[in-house]
Amino acid sequence: MLDVENISTYYGNACALYDVSFSVTENEIVSIIGANGAGKSTLMKSVMGTVRPREGKIVYKGKDITHVQTHKIVKSGIVYVPEGRDVFTKLSVEDNLTMGAYSKPAKAKELNALHEEMYEMFPRLKERRKQMAGTLSGGEQQMLAIARGLMSKPDLIMFDEPSLGLAPIIVDEVFDRIQAINKRMGISVVLVEQNAFMALSISSRCYVLENGKVAMQGKSSELIDDETVKSAYLGM
């Protein structure tokens, strides 16, 4: 459903992505791993159009979206849950969720049902619904960012380092929800992670980014046993 074809992205003259291609098909979880600065976030931002690739093409559901404005890309069904969560700190949890549904105009009743669905999935958010998002813990903010992303009922959701800075027990919870989003809701998932083991264990395919290039790609079940991946990313 998403095809990124040979894109190169620059910040000024510095090349952050060089000739990168990757694809996501319906209903799968694809992971992207790589060290800090490898270009993972830049790849996500290039898809969303918050930075623009200088070369190459991005096709979503058969439509070229390389030059489409970000808010229209969101409307067409791709949601990006950014690194560092980026929740609206001065809005309540409830309002953050409402804003997540911005691109899909919904009647008050449907909107309420959507809220309830999210609270069922993330009960902790329900307790904190009136609280300012800025006062939530890191784990809660991550849950909120995920729930906010789901509010627009995307077909493809991309998570950028959702486990960053979270306690191990919360990390398990986050990965559990990401799997549920894929299995139960049938949403395709791109998972960007430095936590390579977790990413490989829940994804079907994986891309390894190194210095802005795709260094390896393949089935996650095979990469997890690969010697280079083991030594470079799994610390074995």
Partner 1 sequence: MQAVILQLAVSGIAMGFVYALVAIEYTLIWNACGLLNFSHEKIITMGGYVFVGTCLFQLGLPNIPAIVLAVILLAIFGIAIAALIFIPLRNSTRLIAVVATVMLGQVINEGVILIWGSVALMPKNFLSGVSQILGATVSKSYVYIIIVSIIIIAVLQFILKKTKIGKAMTCVSQNKTAASLMGINVKVSMAITVAISFGICCIIGVLTAPIFTVKQQMSTMIALKGFCAGVIGGFGNLPAAIAGGLILGVVENFAGLILPSVFKDVVAFALMVVFMLFFPDGLVGVKNRIQKHIAKSQMEKLS
Ligand X SMILES: Nc1ncnc2c1ncn2[C@@H]1O[C@H](COP(=O)(O)OP(=O)(O)O)[C@@H](O)[C@H]1O
Binding residues for Mg ion (CB under 5 A): 40-41, 83
DSSP 68-136: S-HHHHHHTTEEEE-TT----TTSBHHHHHHHHTTTS---HHHHHHHHHHHHHH-HHHHHTTTSBGGGS
6-45 residues in contact with ligand X (CB under 6 A) are 11, 14, 16, 34, 36-42
**Does residue 143 belong to the site contacting partner 1 (CB under 8 A)?**
no
172-191 residues in contact with partner 1 (CB under 8 A) are none
- Report the alpha-carbon distance of residue 48 to residue 22 in Å, rounded: 14
* From the list ligand X, partner 1, Mg ion, none, partner contacted by residue 13 (C-beta under 5 to 8 A by kind): none
Task: Tell me if residue 226 falls in helix, strand or coil.
Answer: coil
Interface with ligand X: number of residues (CB under 6 A): 11
Is 201 or 211 the residue whose CB approaches ligand X more closely?
Answer: 211
Q: Shortest CA distance to 32 belongs to which of 146, 171, 159?
A: 159
Residue 46 in contact with residue 65, Cβ under 8 Å?
A: no
* From the list Mg ion, partner 1, ligand X, none, partner contacted by residue 115 (C-beta under 5 to 8 A by kind): none
Is 17 or 47 the residue whose CB approaches partner 1 more closely?
Answer: 47
Return all residues near 217 (Cβ < 8 A) that are at least 6 apart. Answer: 22, 205, 206, 207, 208
Q: Hey, what amino acid is at 190?
A: V
Residue 52 in contact with residue 9, Cβ under 8 Å?
A: yes
Q: What x-and-dash track marks residues 5-44 binding partner 1 by CB under 8 A?
A: ----------------------------------------
Q: Which residues bind partner 1 (CB under 8 A)?
A: 48, 50, 69-71, 74-75, 79-80, 82, 86-91, 95, 98-100, 102-104, 148, 152
Q: Which residues bind ligand X (CB under 6 A)?
A: 11, 14, 16, 34, 36-42
